[in-house]
Amino acid sequence: MSTGKYKNKNMIIKVNEKDHSLGYVDKLAAHKEAILHRAFSVFILNNKGEMLLQKRADNKYHGGGLWSNTCCSHPTEDENLKIQAEKRLMEEMGFKTKIGKIGEAKYNLKVGNLIEHEYDHLFIGTYNGEIKPNPKEVSDYKWVSLPKLEKDLEDNPGIYTPWFKFLYPRVVKNLQTFHVD
């Protein structure tokens, strides 16, 4: 682990149980050793109340080929989380929209032979325009109504990322608190 300044995208922020930074750790090492680290997840809905899901590119180091929330990543400390989440949304899904924070979640979930031990900041937004996903990040995308998605999560849990299955009920529960700053 490094405690120096952010050097590259392979270094992520190690945190304690209260999300206080403890320096940097290699991303793959964090996922192999179940080191708690900071993350953010973005959930986008359209005016019909459908959620935008992405199918992660097959070449992703974990969760490849699985359906998940609109986008997620690991932030740096160079700027605020909301700005970084909005930038990552553009990088992965090819569009800009305003988002608002609806909460945080901690989890420790097995993903193949790796572990997602994250302190995750949850953001939500709305969008109704064109989507241009980055093929290096996303192999497919779809809009799904919440009732249909809930049924599919029950009927076909193996096609979704573990973190999405964990976060989805928490996000839906907090939809009423959603607002964009």
Cα(118)–Cα(55) distance, rounded to whole angstroms? 20
> How big is the chain, counted in residues?
181
What residues pair up with 105 in beta bridges, in sequence order? 120
Which residue numbers are catalytic? 72, 118
Q: Look at residues 18, 115, 138 and name the one whose alpha carbon lies nearest to residue 62.
A: 115
- Which residue type does 146 have? L
Superfamily of domain 38-102+120-177: Nucleoside Triphosphate Pyrophosphohydrolase (3.90.79.10)
If residue 167 lies in a helix (H) or strand (E), which one and from where to where? helix 162-173
pTM above threshold 0.85? yes
Question: How far is residue 102 from each of residues 56, 106, 179, measured CA to CA in Å?
Answer: 23, 14, 8
Q: What is the pLDDT of residue 7?
A: 47
pLDDT, average across residues 26-41: 96
**DSSP summary character for residue 85:** H
Q: Write the pLDDT tens digit of every residue in 94-131.
A: 999 999 999 999 999 999 899 999 999 999 999 999 99
Q: Look at residues 43, 35, 52 and name the one whose alpha carbon lies nearest to residue 103.
A: 43
Percent of the chain beyond pLDDT 90? Answer: 83
Q: Where are the domains of the chain?
A: 38-102+120-177
Q: How many CB atoms lie within 10 A of CB 171?
A: 22
